Amino acid sequence: MKGAFPGRIAVVGSGAVGCYFGGLLAHAGEDVHFLMRSDLAVVRERGLTIHTKGEDVHLPKVQCAGSTEEIGPCDLVLIALKTTANQALERLLPPLLGSHTALLTLQNGLGNEEFLAERWGAERVMGGLCFVCINRTAPGVIAHVDHGSISIGEFRRPAADRTHLVAAALQRAGIEAQAVADLVLERWRKLVWNIPFNGLSIAANGATVADVLADEGVRSIARGLMDDVLAAARALGYEIADSFADYQIERSYSMGPYKPSSMLDWEAGQPVEVEAIWGEPWRQGVAAGASLPRLEILYRLMQRLTAIRRNDD
């Protein structure tokens, strides 16, 4: 492998995901610059703290800015904005782009790599699948609850040298990271968990992961939703074994009363990523010939609940 990639890194979307991965990279010595808004003054004064695995990682001095113009061109951009804010990227990303800048989206759901590729070129685009339980508990404070791996892949092409270099940088930061050959397959694998647990957290009136698992009926609904995700993936040519869904159920018990990110957005009155997490997977699966009745029900419920919230506002 050649070069010193990842080099200068920008984090766009400095919430739980962006601060966790960006913060650990910075703690390991990488040159990381955070775009921050509401947390900017606090982080400049107090730094960034990550509570993880029984220890506290504290960065007293954080390179953070209130605009991407202040940051300037970077070698790698980690995109951790909610997908509901994707249009803002058209304004935020150009000041960060050099001739060879790579864009790594850590966002949920489907369609995010396509959004970036259409605007800034497919050759720049990478995707990361984060399997981690983290919450932002206060300005500049991130709590790592459970798990903590990330899979890195290229948009519509196999893993390249740069894919492995990014994974290696994350590994040096103490993160379980791997380069994957098929990014879309990995996105569907993540949806096996995200679709039921994020959706039911809202549709089942504030159900934590522990609540879903403890209620036999709701747990059965979650497992049925996983079956629909597997059917959609298979219709599109991505084979995921039934045992993977069982594995996702079992590994969720250690999360305890964890609130998925969609539930936190809902409780905070923030937009929920309905189309990226439920709408686009349903549309793609149905277009490929899959029957997805449970996924459609959840998607329609999410549409209605969020529409009622918007109308009330």
* Claim to verify: residue 239 and residue 117 sit in the same structural domain: no
Q: Is residue 198's pLDDT more than 70? A: yes
pLDDT at residue 70, rounded to an integer:
97
Name the domain boundary from 181, 199, 218: 181
Q: Which amino acid is at 9?
A: I
What residues act catalytically? Answer: 190
If asked whether residues 122 and 247 sit together in one domain, one would say no
Are 161 and 267 in a shared domain?
no
- The rounded percent of the chain whose pLDDT value lies above 70 is 98
**6 confidence band (pLDDT: 50, 70, 90):** confident
Q: Is 144 found in the same domain as 288?
A: no
Check whether residue 159 and residue 207 sit in a common domain.
no
Of 148, 181, 214, which residue constitutes the final position of a domain?
A: 181
Asked if omega into 260 is within 30° of 0 (cis), the reply is no
Q: Do 174 and 199 belong together in one domain?
A: no
132 and 215 together in one domain: no
Residues 197 and 219 grouped into a single domain = yes
* Segments forming the whole domain that contains residue 150: 8-181
* pTM for the predicted model, two decimal places: 0.91
- 82-99: buried (b, 16+ CB within 10 Å) or exposed (e) per residue? bbbebeebeebbeebbee
Question: 164-196, pLDDT tens digit by residue?
Answer: 999 999 999 999 999 999 999 999 999 999 999
Looking at the fold, whether 145 and 162 belong to one and the same domain comes out as yes
Residue 151 sits in a domain whose CATH number is 3.40.50.720
**Cα–Cα distance list, 104 to 63, 112, 261 (Å):** 19, 10, 20
What pLDDT is attached to residue 313?
61
What is the rounded CA–CA span in Å between residue 137 and residue 91?
Answer: 28
pLDDT at residue 69 is higher than 90: yes
Which of 181, 210, 241 lies at the terminal end of a domain, its last residue? 181
Place of tokens 């549309």: 283
